[in-house]
Amino acid sequence: MMKPKGWRELTPGAVILEAGNAVEFKTGSWRAFRPVWREENCIQCLFCWLYCPDMAVIVRDGKRADFNYDYCKGCGICALECPGKKGNKAIIMQEEGK
């Protein structure tokens, strides 16, 4: 497995010099809030997968599975867009470390 790069190894301005190298940067450590999935409220609409700018929602066999916390930056877009079941969100944002 490839060792993740620390911030001191980033290029100046975090400029991407090689195509497809985003996988090397585990951006999950930037997160202040973490999305938490409440499966019981999930209607499998896949809006979270569609809207996530970091492709951090895992879909397996056509169904939403969990988050890839290595790359989720905690932006909260998935929680905002999630319709949930009968108004009960299937994604809530929780402060990291709580």
Q: Which residues pair with 34 in a beta bridge?
A: 94
| Contact between 44 and 71 (Cβ < 8 Å) | no
| Contact between 60 and 68 (Cβ < 8 Å) | no
Using the rule CB under 6 A, is 78 a contact of ligand SF4? yes
Query: Going residue by residue from 10 to 29, which x/- string records binding to ligand SF4, judged by CB under 6 A?
Result: --------------------
Using the rule CB under 6 A, is 73 a contact of ligand SF4? yes
CB of 86 to ligand SF4, least distance (A): 11
Judged by CB under 6 A, the stretch of 6-14, 16-24, 38-46 that binds ligand SF4 is 38-46
CA gap 14, 16 in Å, rounded: 6
